[in-house]
Structure 1
Amino acid sequence: MSKYDGTAPVAVTVDLVIFTLRESALQVLLIERGKPPYMGGLALPGGFVRDHEDLRGAALRELGEETGLDGGKLHLEQLRTFGTPGRDPRVRTFTVAYLALGPDLPTPVAGTDAAHARWMPVAEALTVELAFDHRAILREGLDRARAKLEYTTVAAAFCQEPFTLADLRHVYEVVWDLELDPSNFRRKVLKADDFVVPTGALRAPEVGRPAELYRRGRSEILYPPMVRTTHPS
């Protein structure tokens, strides 16, 4: 067994799976690469970690440079590390993927390595060719987001405050690709410990009764959990 002698070049990058709800669909942020490799191809935002940066700092910088979005306003968490040999034709590369979630995020502005940046429905993005191994990273990010809605309160990160329970249910339905019973959903949300907090205000719809408005509670763990009865493909 040979030992690593420090001569083989190895690089570390960060890639971001950024989800938002736009036009009643779960959408992911993609860039059109402005440099080789895969020039002109679609990819997740990301890039190389600089010597003075930690991983989260690199993710926030790349998010700002390539899309113009402020990552400090998003839910941002580390997904996992991908390091299959050959995933980057330039050099042996390990990438640390991040999952970011935000409510109705604005149209991104491309910069640096990105020629263009745009939102694409996740269902469509999973069918197109993405650079590197970004389709696998996207799929893992989708699986993580769907799972976290079951046992954490992160669904509220997709909602602009204040929000109604119908707004929150819409998040679950879009991310899970399932239709939920409104009465059962309401009962589960209000039963959960400090998931949502009533503001005391109402939103008057065009038709029907006014709806109560809520803000996100302090709890990060959803208890009891919101278990899916059917898992999407």
Structure 2
Amino acid sequence: MKTGRVAFEGVIHTVTETSRGIQLANGQIAAEEEVVWLTPIEPETCFALGLNYFDHASELSFQAPEEPLIFLKGPNTFIGHRGKTLRPSEVKNMHYECELAVIIGRLARNVNREDAYDYISGYTIANDYAVRDYLENYYRPNLKAKNRDHSTPLGPWVVEAADIKDPMNLSLRTYVNGEIVQEGSTKDLIFSVPVLIEYISSFMTLNPGDLILTGTPKGTIDTKAGDEVITEIEGIGRLINTITGEATE
């Protein structure tokens, strides 16, 4: 099942996807464009991965990491489907990152990788924009690069874990203005989803609602104000976002 969260006629609704459109909890059907999309969950702690695809590390001329490179993201960064993300006027390189997002469903501490899938409630899509100009270095993303307001679209749907047969074999694609610019597969993750859950839970407790953004494959290019960016993951859906520029007088 796919579920999401929207605002419609002044009320927040949990919705499901149907062939007729977006179905509200009361059975009413609305078009996708009629609602304001919220993030499908309200994330608790968000763990994000740097350089977790071999080809992306190579693309940036970096050696693949020997252990997960993890940084945290604040709740201010997230925005829903069809939202807008600001490109600061002074930057020279701001690119998308299509990522599988893993939602923790129950308290997890010292989890073995063999049991890791038992702790996942579902999956969604994240587009974790990076402002390369602001990076101190590629191994430790700083706040200004990765925690800007509305810099991480999320959604539109949460797909229940049971409905994703093999999360380690999902195709990912990104389109900019209708042109495909990024393509990869979760089978190429350096650190798999079970490994990440085992690693993080070995030193801190994962809680329901925590989110793990698993990294992006190669194919990241600069985006400009006015660009429409669609990030797509097999079996989960398509997340639409628009880049905006700063207002000038």
TM tier, shorter chain? under 0.3
When you count helix as a share of all residues, which structure comes out higher?
1
When you count strand as a share of all residues, which structure comes out higher?
2
Structure (1 or 2) with the larger CA radius of gyration:
1
Higher relative contact order (CA 8 A, sep 6+): 2
Q: Provide the TM-score with structure 1 as the length reference.
A: 0.23
